[in-house]
A and B are shown apart, each in its own frame.
Chain A
Amino acid sequence: MENHSHEEHGHEHHGNFWTTYIFSEDHKVIAKQFLITGMIWALIGGTLSVIFRLQLGFPNANLSWLKPLLGGWITAEGKIDPEFYLALVTMHGTIMVFFVLTAGLSGTFSNFLIPLQVGARDMASGFMNMLSYWFFFASSCVMFTSLFISTGPAAGGWVIYPPLSALPQAISGSGLGMTLWLVSMALFIISSLLGSINYITTVINLRTVGMSFTKLPLTIWAFFFTAIIGILSFPVLFAAALLLIFDRSFGTSFYLSDIYIGGEALPNEGGSPILFQHLFWFLGHPEVYIVLLPALGITSEIISTNSRKPIFGYKAMVGSMLFIAVLSFVVWAHHMFVTGMNPFLGSIFTLLTLIIAVPSAVKIFNYVTTIWRGNLRFTPAMLFSIGLVSFFLTGGITGLFVGNSAVDIQLHDTYFVVAHFHLVMGAASFFGMVAGVYHWFPKMFGRMMNDKLGYIHFWITFIGIYMVFFPMHYIGIAGFPRRYYTWTNFETFGGFTDLNMVVSISAIVSVGAQFIFLFNFIYSIFRGKLAPANPWQSNTLEWTTPRHPQHGNWPGEIPTVYRWPYDYSKPGAKEDYIPQHIPFSETPESNLPHESELIKLEGIDNTMRVEEKKHH
């Protein structure tokens, strides 16, 4: 128990402005840095989607009023340039997947909650943690710069399939824009790896006395699995990007072969674009779970707390996350059923893909059973968590269509897929992130967010997001291909102008509603009601810290953990919650038979700790 040796000086860190707020090694400050950067990115990503939804919902509108913002990307007729349209969808995808839902979600909550919930003074390496943020910051700067260059940012889709992404003569975004994209992603991957190593190490080594793995909150399990997935998959994207850099700049032919473009035959022979797709999706699919698992962990905690009821099937929840984490590595090629990959592989990946639906279904059933006979308090965090379960259900269930190769033939790359993944990983993860902010805001800033504004924010966003993505199922079944600037060239795709307008209006309203959140967030940091010590009557350790925990988190000793984090509404107990650090000896009225036996061990634990202290 290394961390206990820091007790004497752990909370005595008083740096100057720079070391406290900018180059801080305090996990709580780093978490806030990730959160605020992620929120800025979310606004940018959301704004990009509004711009391209204007084009899709109102194809005849004159958009010249956007000229002050977009300049030359608006044509003389007041239309969005078709190539810029592709840049918009590409950057929207990249920003949302990586910068918001990976860095903004994992970066924020893994950093903030792991030390606080496992009972550690800080991350295993505060310095690496700081580097992790600053690599992310550098990566953000590079990606942000690419939005403003004259040839435009990367425009070949967020999946950057070569040859399109390798050849500037194919699309202008594949020039400098793509170079910056690759540099930015390389920095991003370094940031992600530095973070993940820290998360894993901290969870394994720095748990407080008594915090066995079986007593970890589900949030920590989720962050732990997420970090492992990240460490195993991001290096593969790095390799893929590196080979692409070689193809782009040094004349190699990893992904290029038999290309005739711009009136000349390129010398590259023997490469395979499919190779890139395999490498990309080997990260790309686990990435879905990198984005989703933290959100599921957060909502497990929030739903249990606000249902005043233990999470149903703790072991099944951990087991299903483990199963999902393992399976996430062997389903990647379901993105490639119709790319010309060997059809036999299509069969294998259909089988594995549909198996992953089983643990996902278990999770949904467990959530629903958790609220059954609960005593539900609809805090904004709880509303967003229930919203997440609903999106996870609606979006996840369509995975049974697109995961089945024979059905996927028709649906692949249509709006059906857009609806599917936006609900199941986009909206669901986003809701997990927002729920987390509402729930842990009191711990982050010592004040409460306004709940009325939270309700308004939730209802507009919840219904808005359904209105955006539910209609897309119909549009997708009708075969409308994604990444189309307009469908007017086709008779087959002539319909649904009304539905597309509904989608666009809903998208604008949903993005607009986020400003309510933004206002609430900033206002509450300075003027919110002061937060009580444990505003949600929650069991986990972070609520045993002071209102403004200093670097080191606990002013005195780190509490010892005696019980699992879900002792809510235990029969016989006075309160409807018993925090993790309350020993069984203090709650004889509510102990289960096997728990009463554990009382005998409590003393032994304490003597062990005293012994340990002497050593240090």
Chain B
Amino acid sequence: MNMIIGLGVVLVVAILYMIFRIGRLMEVAKEKNEDDNSWNNINAFLFLLFMVFGLIGFFYYSYKHYGTYEPPVASEHGVVTDNLFWITMAITVVAFVAIFIVMFWFTYIYRYNKNRRAAFFADNHYLEITWTVIPAVVLALLILKGLRVWGDITGPASKEAVVIEMIGQQFAWTARYPGVKDRELGHHNYKLIDASNEFGLDLTDKNSFDDFKSLTLYLPKGKEVLLKIRAKDVIHSVFLPHFRVKMDAVPGMQTQFKFTPTKTTEEMRTETGNAKFNYEMACTEVCGRGHFSMRFPVIVVEPDEYERWMASQTPWLKQNPDYMKYVPANLKEAAAIKAGLSLEGIQTSNSVSLK
């Protein structure tokens, strides 16, 4: 089979070569007129065709498929950055189309003509100043708007923000929520990570007792959310396409991103007309073999439902009562209360110092 395909390819190449040779010989035989301008005209005309059909194709596709290429937006700042995106789009499309038309119009009308001579036009300061200043002014406006938006997005989160930790590792995400008792995330240390303690939770910190793990990112609608982001092994990147959120997860340092979801999953299902719609989180920094598979489900609910969900979750310490032995003796009682463990049995076991 491969042999036949190989022979076929060789044959086709040989035929093409023969055609080329014959064409060359005919050219030589005809003693082609050097002034023949037909190919030059053909190329000029093709540029014109390219410009016309290229622009038609561009506008047609952009219009016809408008709904498909922009993911619906579901965060407060996302509306603002989308707005900036479309302002930039308007400016660039106008500039692009204008230059495109002018350039390919010129290549057509100024194609070679032996009876004409090109203009000796080497410079013109007014023209040059004009097209230096105009882009500069337009860019200044874009920059000003962009910087204001960027400042708002990266500014400090409010004190009431819901804090959630996202942890990236090869090739999965996990979320850590502060429990409902203290609403604060406990400390962590990568050296404490083991098969069960995947957060590296530091149990000498009292805030860690009621922290819980989730394999879905639950978010309350209309509340500011502050994602604290870290990675265990290599760099990953949190990408929430519908919320216009992206921030790398870097081992050895914490990054963060604040945003406010504006639509619950249910509302989004109605809006998109897709009963199966789900928010998703992806990884956008290459992290190895399974980079493409780091999907993490995201659900946005009304704030009261969010509270109910929070309250129904089991603290990590309760799921892993063995780890009570790492809690310092003076905090054991607090730990048991916060984690919702029964006190008996715990007081008898001696505490073990941290590894």
A397 interfacial contact with B, CB 8 Å: yes
Task: Tell yes or no: B321 within 8 A of A by CB.
Answer: no
A556: chain B residues at CB < 8 Å are none
**Interface members, chain A 127-182 (any B CB < 8 Å):** 156-157, 161, 163-164, 167, 170-171
**Contact (A401, B251) CB under 8 Å given A308-B118, A492-B241:** no
Contact of B283 with A by CB under 8 A: yes
B190, A338: Cβ atoms under 8 Å? no
Q: Does B102 sit at the interface, judged by CB under 8 A?
A: yes
Once A410-B246, A450-B24, A495-B68 are accepted as A-B contacts, the answer to whether A82 and B40 lie under 8 Å apart by CB is no
Instruction: Please judge, given known A-B contacts A156-B286, A368-B103, A376-B112, whether A258 and B252 are in contact too, CB under 8 Å.
Output: yes
Residue pair A491, B120 in contact (C-beta under 8 Å): no
A491 touches B128 (CB 8 A): no
Task: Check B216 for interface membership: any CB of A closer than 8 A.
Answer: no
Bitwise, B74-95 to A at CB < 8 A (1) or not (0) is 0000101100110011011001
Which chain A residues numbered 241 to 266 have a C-beta less than 8 Å away from chain B?
256-261, 263, 265
- Report chain A residues within 8 Å CB of B287: 164, 170
A171 B288 Cβ-Cβ under 8 A = yes
From residue 353 to 380 of chain A, which have CB atoms closer than 8 A to chain B?
Answer: 354-355, 357-358, 361-362, 364-369, 371-378
On whether A413 and B284 interact (CB within 8 A), knowing A313-B123, A357-B139, A576-B117, the answer reads: yes
Q: Which of A34-42, A104-112, A114-122, A382-390 contacts B (4 or more CB under 8 A)?
A: A382-390
| Docked CA distance A377–B40 (Å) | 6
Contact B121 A406 (CB under 8 A): no
- CA of A355 to CA of B132 in the docked complex: distance in angstroms? 11
Let me know if B146 and A260 touch, CB within 8 A: no
Closest to A567 in B: B120
Q: Contact between A397 and B84 (Cβ–Cβ < 8 Å)?
A: no
| A398 CA / B68 CA spacing, docked (Å) | 20
Instruction: Give, as a whole number of angstroms, the nearest-CB distance from B87 to chain A.
Output: 9
- B261-308 CB contacts (< 8 Å) to partner A: 276-278, 280, 282-293, 295
Which residue in chain A gives the minimum CB-CB distance to B248? A339
Determine how close the nearest CB of chain B comes to the CB of A601; give it in whole angstroms.
21
| B88 and A401 contact, CB distance less than 8 A | yes
What is the total number of residues of chain A having a CB less than 8 Å from a CB of chain B? Answer: 119
Is B43's CB within 8 Å of the partner chain A? yes
Among the listed stretches B174-182, B206-214, B231-239, B341-349, which one makes contact with chain A, having 4 or more residues with CB under 8 Å of it? B231-239
Q: Which residues of B contact A167 (CB under 8 A)?
A: 233-234
A397 contacts B120, CB within 8 Å? no
A490 lies within 8 A of B280 (CB): yes
Q: Which residues of B contact A271 (CB under 8 A)?
A: 252
With A257-B252, A371-B103 as known contacts, state yes or no: A340 contacts B247, CB within 8 Å. yes
Which residues 403-428 in A have Cβ within 8 Å of B in the complex? Answer: 404-407, 409-410, 412-414
In the complex, residue of chain A having the shortest beta-carbon distance to the beta carbon of B290: A82
* In the bound complex, CA of A171 to CA of B112 (Å): 57
Chain A residues whose CB sits within 8 angstroms of the CB of B323 once the complex forms: none
Query: If A257-B252, A339-B248 touch, does A161 touch B285 (CB 8 Å cutoff)?
Result: yes
Nearest A residue (CB) for B190: A258
In the assembly, what is the distance between CA of A171 and CA of B286, in Å? 11
- Contact A393 B280, CB 8 Å, known A312-B121, A413-B285, A569-B117: no
Does chain B have a CB within 8 A of A479?
A: yes
Known contacts A371-B107, A400-B92; is-contact A338 B143 (Cβ 8 Å): no
Number of interface residues of B (CB under 8 A): 111
* B11 in contact (CB, < 8 A): no
Q: Are B237 and A413 in contact, CB atoms less than 8 angstroms apart? A: yes
User: B59 at the A/B interface (Cβ < 8 Å)?
Assistant: no
Interface assignment of B200: CB less than 8 Å from any CB of chain A:
yes
Q: B154 in the interface, Cβ–Cβ < 8 Å? A: yes
Complex CA distance for A383 and B32, rounded to whole angstroms: 22
Q: How far is the CA of A485 from the CA of B171 in the complex (A)?
A: 14
Report if A568-B118 is in contact (Cβ < 8 Å); known contacts: A273-B252, A412-B284: yes
Q: Does B135 sit at the interface, judged by CB under 8 A?
A: yes
Note all chain B residues with C-beta closer than 8 A to A548: none
B70 nearest CB neighbor, chain A only: A477
**Interface contact B69-A265, CB-CB below 8 Å:** no
* Residues from chain B with Cβ under 8 Å of A383 in the complex: 43
Distance of A576 Cα from B114 Cα, bound (Å): 11
Across-interface contacts of B99 in A (CB, < 8 A) = 364-365, 368, 393
Contact with A along B147-171 (1 / 0, CB 8 A): 1011101100000000000000110
Contact indicator B233/A314 (Cβ below 8 Å) = no
Is B187 positioned at the interface, with any CB of A under 8 Å from its CB? no
A484 close to chain B: CB less than 8 A: yes
Indicate whether A351 sits within 8 Å of B110 (C-beta atoms), given known contacts A394-B96, A466-B54.
no
Q: Is A378 a contact partner of B139 (Cβ separation < 8 A)? A: no
Of A288-296, A437-445, A451-459, the one touching chain B = A451-459
Question: Measured between alpha carbons, how far is A570 from B118 in the docked complex, in Å?
Answer: 9
Q: Is B119 an interface residue (CB 8 A)?
A: yes
Contact A261 B119, CB 8 Å, known A409-B246, A491-B278: no
What CA separation (Å) do A474 and B110 show in the bound complex?
A: 34
Q: Which of A327-342 contact B (CB under 8 A)?
A: 338-340
Asked if A571 and B232 sit within 8 Å, CB to CB, the answer is: no
Whether the Cβ atoms of B103 and A397 lie closer than 8 Å is no
Given contacts A398-B92, A405-B146, contact A260 B112 (CB under 8 A): no
Residues on B with C-beta less than 8 A from A373 are: 110, 118-119, 121
- Residue A27, interface by CB 8 Å: no
- Asked whether, in the complex, the Cβ of B118 is within 8 Å of the Cβ of A576, the reply is yes
Q: A350-B143, A400-B92 are in contact. Are A362 and B128 (CB under 8 A)?
A: yes
Does any Cβ of B come within 8 Å of A204's Cβ? no
Please give the distance in Å from B267's CB to the nearest CB on chain A.
17
Structural contact, B291 and A315, CB atoms closer than 8 A = no
A585 interfacial by beta-carbon distance below 8 Å: no
Restricting to B184-236, which residues have a CB under 8 Å from any CB of A? 190-191, 193, 195, 200, 229, 232-235
Q: Mark A258-288, 1 if CB is under 8 A from B, else 0.
A: 1111010100011111100000000000000
**Residue B122 is within 8 A (CB to CB) of chain A in the complex:** yes
> Bound complex: CA of A260 vs CA of B117, how far in Å?
72
Check B337 for interface membership: any CB of A closer than 8 A: no
- Give bound CA distance, A486 to B280, whole Å: 16
Known: A265-B193, A340-B248. A354 touches B142 (CB 8 A): yes
Q: Is the CB of B241 within 8 A of A272?
A: no
A260 to B190 Cα, complex, angstroms: 7
Residue from A257, A313, A495 with most neighbouring chain B CB atoms (10 Å): A313
Does A195 belong to the interface (CB within 8 Å)? no
Q: Is A86 an interface residue (CB 8 A)?
A: yes
The reply to whether B122 and A378 contact each other, CB–CB distance below 8 Å, is no
Asked if A481 CB lies within 8 Å of chain B CBs, one says yes
* Contact residues in B for A491 (Cβ distance below 8 Å): 276-278, 280
Q: Mark A residues whose CB is within 8 Å of B.
A: 65, 82-83, 86, 156-157, 161, 163-164, 167, 170-171, 256-261, 263, 265, 269-274, 307-316, 338-340, 343, 346-347, 350-351, 354-355, 357-358, 361-362, 364-369, 371-378, 383, 386, 389-390, 393-394, 397-398, 400-401, 404-407, 409-410, 412-414, 450-453, 455, 459, 462-463, 466, 470, 474-475, 477-479, 481-487, 489-493, 495-496, 519, 566, 568-571, 576
Going nearest first, the 3 A-B pairs with the smallest beta carbon separation are: A257-B252, A343-B154, A340-B255
Chain B: residues with CB nearer than 8 A to chain A? Answer: 2, 17, 20, 23-24, 39-40, 42-44, 46-47, 50, 54, 58, 61-62, 65, 68-71, 78, 80-81, 84-85, 88-89, 91-92, 95-96, 99-100, 102-103, 106-107, 110-113, 116-124, 127-128, 131-132, 135-136, 139, 142-143, 146-147, 149-151, 153-154, 169-170, 190-191, 193, 195, 200, 229, 232-235, 237, 239, 241-242, 244-248, 250-253, 255, 276-278, 280, 282-293, 295
Having A338-B237, A477-B70, one finds 7 other A-B pairs with CB under 8 Å, namely A309-B121, A316-B123, A339-B255, A369-B127, A378-B39, A386-B47, A397-B95
Q: List 15 A-B contacts (CB under 8 A).
A: A82-B289, A170-B170, A170-B234, A274-B250, A313-B124, A347-B150, A371-B110, A373-B118, A375-B117, A393-B99, A397-B95, A405-B146, A481-B282, A481-B292, A576-B117
